[in-house]
Structure 1
Amino acid sequence: MNQRRPNLIYLFADQWRRQAAGYAKEDPVYTPNIDQFALESMTFPQAVTCNPLCSPHRASLLTGKYPMSTGVYTNCKVGADVMLKPEERCISDVLKESGYATGYIGKWHLDLPELQYQSQPESGASGWDAYTPPGPKRHGFDEWYSYGAWDDHLSPHYWQDSPEKIKPNQWSVEHETDKAIEFINSRNPDEPFALFVSWNPPHSPFDQVPKQYKDVYKQQSLPLRKNVTSDSFKVHTGEEVGGGLEELQENQKNYFAAITGIDENFGRILDVLRELQLEEDTIIVLTSDHGEMMGSHGLMAKHVWYEESIGIPFLIRWPGKIPAIATDSLLNTVDIMPTLLTLLGLPVPSQVEGTDLSPILKGEKKELVNQSYLCAYPGRKEAIEQFRQSGMDNRAYGWRGIRTKNYMYVVHKGYSPRKKTVRMLYDLEKDPYQLEPEVIEIPHSHVIAQKLEEKLALWLNRTNDPFNINNEVKNI
């Protein structure tokens, strides 16, 4: 049946780095369904997240705006008072208003944790978790099977339209895929649908993966990335996370196992679309919100400017409409919303700050932008309080960066008021593992750094970012 507009299925995993897929030919991961899908899709090997952290990426994905504009500059957690505002105009709002049946399944992490404003929520939410009731905070998503933030992958929970918890005894990826298939099967064939599915794995804890996927890697001796140069590991703020190389290798196997599990469940969704003859009428996006360092540069998790943290897989398929090629065009989080809306023939809200890349997807142009802007802010409760006590805006610190095809330029002020500004330039063509940064003392005396510094300054001014790159931070 020919529909007025195509369906949209947007699938994104949490903390899945760009390198960890078979088709990427970097990490030794078994992903046969994703590899075949890559052959049928346009892939973006240069895709990045504008902020390598869960909530900021999600807010930017839905609004097409940078974190400073959405106000979601750090994770939605107790002590940060950060959430996606109900008045924001999201891609889902536009879809709903345009006659799409809309659904959201899985991790949301855009609502204020309930413990932020009540000690004993009726929903039973704890930690950073939250039940988001029907209304404007759901931003046009009608079918809702979700939770805020909770990392128990083997025993997940969800809420629908009441505070009553739903607790299936099933791996979250498998259960959410079941729900996605139910949504597709129960659709009204007379109207297009838009379904967003947010899988939490391969996010830590890495060991919470079904045995059958762990067994794929059990007997294998997997190499670590070339930039794993330490036997002890930290997070971006410097805290030790414990464990040595042996634990890292086990974590890596489990991380890959989760991705293999995602691959199998992704294949289930593709099978259903094939059986229902919906392939031609459905745009499918497969991606993630940010990466995972997994020991590279002595770091775990994300929130840093290295490729393992900022690089995301991004594959999009629309048979007969989008060519199946790998493009070297850049793609940033804020570009996704305007690009998808244009592909669907829907209006793009005027406040969007990203770029519509649909001419690239249609094969009309090879490049629309030649740089992507990235940011990260101090967001830990202790750090926010430290800045407040020092009379400073914590959002004026952290790091900002600009990523081009060949370079990554970073200005880093640190995550506490006692840090000094450091500038680093990485030549990604000559140094793809970012092992030899050039420290820039005076950017205006360096041809490449000068151009990138000027572009970065314009972007900061355009987004009203308080991060000042014209003056060095003084030690206090």
Structure 2
Amino acid sequence: MQSHNLFMLCFLTSFLVNDPQFIVAKERPHVVFIVADDLRADVMSVYGGPVPTPHMQDLANRGCRFQRATCGYPICHVSRTEFLSGRSVVAEATPGKVIPFPPEWTLWPAWMQKHGWETIHSGKWHVNGQPHQRGFDRTAGLYSSGGAKGQPLTLPISSSGHSVTGYRGWTFKADSEDGSGKSLPELGIGLMPDTDLRIANAAIKQINQTGGSPLFLTVNFTAPHDPLHWPKGWKDSFRASDVKLPVNFLPEHPFDHGNQNGRDEMIIPAPRTRESVQLQRSIYYALVANIDEQVGRIAQALQSRGMLDETIFIFTSDQGLALGSHGLMGKQNQYEHTTNVPLLIAGPGVPAGRTIVSNCALRDLYPTVCDLCHLETPISVQGESLVSLWNTSSEDVTRITYGYFTDTQRMIRDDEGWKLIWYPQQNLRQLFHLTADPHEMNNLAADPNHAGRLKKLSQQLSNWLTKQGDPVIDANSPSHPDNARD
């Protein structure tokens, strides 16, 4: 009898181990999450743009390409706070300070760490605290502020001839587990032509050294953020005279949108000329092409280790950049070139070659990975898993996305292609029908034919902001979006 039971146990064990469905259910996939900085989707060839992105196209072919992914707040540290926490942070972000992580928020890397993933952060760190305080086992190629006190930028003038204003005092830090890695100013203070190459190299090194635990690796590039230096090996790869201006190019924005004199807008002060924008965009294009190359190298490293098919591979950006669209240069706005970010997801559980047109948000990535890794989603997470978007036909899924910036901008985009932007301080509204007007050039807010649509969106936006505890709604009730002029 005992020998019979032993035989059955061996038989069942052998059967289950060799059953592909059992293996998929049991195995915990690796996760590689890559984030670009200020990358607008519409310049990439994978989204129909002018910059060849063959490695991004390979990723899209292996998985899903999202057409309507939204960043919540178009500033690096707030956008990153959203996807690390899986939450909307409109109440916390409006005062304009660095957002703390309350102890009741369960952060994404900490959740993965708790469930046995080896958590590694590579590249740019731009949220509150240090990686080891947020759930990362260690850092690799950490690039963060500090470490060069009193020392000047290595490259103080950009490739387009303008003074560099961003990443002052930022340096690489030596790899560490406790965040105490010493600063490495000898690698450059501020952005350098090889900054993202170094970040990719650090990530690849971690892939090559990974052991038995599943890997949760975040790779955070600095490009194509301004100020813009030609990336290493790409100098003059795009000629400014060949670069086409965006369809919605303007020399300056028609009104103060809330960041008229911000740092990004002063890189090329208004009114902008065609030539100055073309030069800026040519360098930007080279930075985008370089990011695509680095993504390809990371994918190849996974392939060489036999890990690629076992990896949930995600690429996105924290927000886009105007670069002349609507007369703006920076990211602090609610137009599509900024808020509509690239998002590509491939790997176990993700269908190949699918285009998803439903709205979604970056805060949805955390619960999505929980779904794909067979983990419960923490109660503090407000985002919604995207798995339903590829398991259901798009017309059966209703999703609305929202955006916000300081106390000057609020946005809602519905699932019928309509978008409302409200400027509380200006008491102005813009209404765009993105299906017919993807470049947002025809403001319909004053059109009586769309009064019903305007009222509906204004009320939906107001309801959501109130639910989120938005101080703009509380403090400026006379500037309620229903009462704004058009």
- Could you say which residue in structure 1 is the equivalent of 2:423? 412
Determine the C-alpha separation between the residues in 2 that align with 1:235 and 1:422: 10
Contact 2:173–2:181 (CA under 8 A) maintained in structure 1: no
- 1:470, CA displacement in angstroms? 5.2
Name which one, 1 or 2, has greater alpha-carbon Rg. Answer: 2
- Could you say which residue in structure 2 is the equivalent of 1:164? 182
Q: Which of 36, 60, 69 pairs up with 1:38?
A: 60
Determine the C-alpha separation between the residues in 2 that align with 1:430 and 1:265: 35
Q: Which of 100, 105, 128 pairs up with 1:111?
A: 128
Q: Gaps spanning 5+ residues in structure 1: where?
A: 113-131, 378-396, 415-419
1:338 equivalent in alignment to 2:367 = yes
- Could you say which residue in structure 1 is the equivalent of 2:412? 402
Determine the C-alpha separation between the residues in 1 that align with 2:41 and 2:144: 24
- 1:235, CA displacement in angstroms? 8.3
Contact 1:236–1:302 (CA under 8 A) maintained in structure 2: no
- 1:322, CA displacement in angstroms? 2.6
- Could you say which residue in structure 2 is the equivalent of 1:393? none
1:307 equivalent in alignment to 2:339 = no
User: Residues 149 and 29 (structure 1 numbering): CA distance in 2 closer, same or farther, change over 3 Å?
Assistant: farther
Q: Gaps spanning 5+ residues in structure 2: where?
A: 1-16, 18-22, 147-165
- Could you say which residue in structure 2 is the equivalent of 1:250? 279
Contact 1:400–1:410 (CA under 8 A) maintained in structure 2: yes
Equivalences for 1:205-216 in 2 at 5 Å? 205-210=227-232, 212-216=233-237
- 1:428, CA displacement in angstroms? 0.8
Deviations, residues 198-253 of structure 1 (Å, cap 9, x unaligned): 1011000112422x223321376111111002279998522262253222111100
SS for the counterpart of 2:359 is: coil
- 1:370, CA displacement in angstroms? 2.5
- Could you say which residue in structure 2 is the equivalent of 1:125? none
Determine the C-alpha separation between the residues in 2 that align with 1:166 and 1:434: 44
- 1:23, CA displacement in angstroms? 1.4
- CA RMSD in angstroms, aligned pairs only: 2.9
Contact 1:50–1:332 (CA under 8 A) maintained in structure 2: yes
- TM-score for both structures, normalised by structure 2: 0.79
- Could you say which residue in structure 2 is the equivalent of 1:446? 451
- Could you say which residue in structure 2 is the equivalent of 1:4? 27
When the two structures are aligned, how many residues end up with a matched partner? 419
- TM-score for both structures, normalised by structure 1: 0.81
Identical columns (%): 25
- Could you say which residue in structure 1 is the equivalent of 2:313? 284
- 1:91, CA displacement in angstroms? 0.9
Equivalences for 1:288-367 in 2 at 5 Å? 288-318=317-347, 321-361=350-390, 363-366=391-394, 367=396
User: Residues 446 and 155 (structure 1 numbering): CA distance in 2 closer, same or farther, change over 3 Å?
Assistant: closer
1:376 equivalent in alignment to 2:405 = yes
- 1:85, CA displacement in angstroms? 4.2
User: Residues 344 and 220 (structure 1 numbering): CA distance in 2 closer, same or farther, change over 3 Å?
Assistant: farther
SS for the counterpart of 2:354 is: coil
- Could you say which residue in structure 2 is the equivalent of 1:187? 210
SS for the counterpart of 2:307 is: coil
Determine the C-alpha separation between the residues in 2 that align with 1:458 and 1:152: 38
Determine the C-alpha separation between the residues in 2 that align with 1:232 and 1:100: 47
Give, as a single letter, the amino acid of the residue that structure 2 aligns with 1:462: K
Contact 1:73–1:376 (CA under 8 A) maintained in structure 2: yes
- 1:364, CA displacement in angstroms? 3.9
Deviates more, 1:404-413 or 1:92-101: 404-413
- Could you say which residue in structure 2 is the equivalent of 1:115? none
1:140 equivalent in alignment to 2:135 = yes
Contact 1:18–1:291 (CA under 8 A) maintained in structure 2: yes
Contact 1:154–1:208 (CA under 8 A) maintained in structure 2: no
Determine the C-alpha separation between the residues in 2 that align with 1:21 and 1:410: 25
Give, as a single letter, the amino acid of the residue that structure 1 aligns with 2:308: E
- 1:153, CA displacement in angstroms? 10
Higher relative helix content: 2
- 1:373, CA displacement in angstroms? 1.2
Give, as a single letter, the amino acid of the residue that structure 2 aligns with 1:216: S
Give, as a single letter, the amino acid of the residue that structure 2 aligns with 1:142: D
SS for the counterpart of 2:33 is: strand
- 1:147, CA displacement in angstroms? 3.6
Give, as a single letter, the amino acid of the residue that structure 2 aligns with 1:144: T
- Could you say which residue in structure 2 is the equivalent of 1:221? 242
Q: Which of 436, 440, 443 pairs up with 2:442?
A: 436
SS for the counterpart of 1:439 is: coil
- 1:107, CA displacement in angstroms? 1.2
Contact 2:360–2:399 (CA under 8 A) maintained in structure 1: no
Determine the C-alpha separation between the residues in 2 that align with 1:374 and 1:450: 18
Deviations, residues 392-450 of structure 1 (Å, cap 9, x unaligned): xxxxx212111124111111113xxxxx411221111221111111235999x821112
- Could you say which residue in structure 1 is the equivalent of 2:461? 456
Deviates more, 1:11-20 or 1:322-331: 322-331
Give, as a single letter, the amino acid of the residue that structure 1 aligns with 2:234: Y
Equivalences for 1:41-120 in 2 at 5 Å? 41-68=63-90, 71-73=92-94, 80=97, 82-85=99-102, 88-111=105-128
SS for the counterpart of 1:471 is: helix
Determine the C-alpha separation between the residues in 2 that align with 1:441 and 1:461: 27
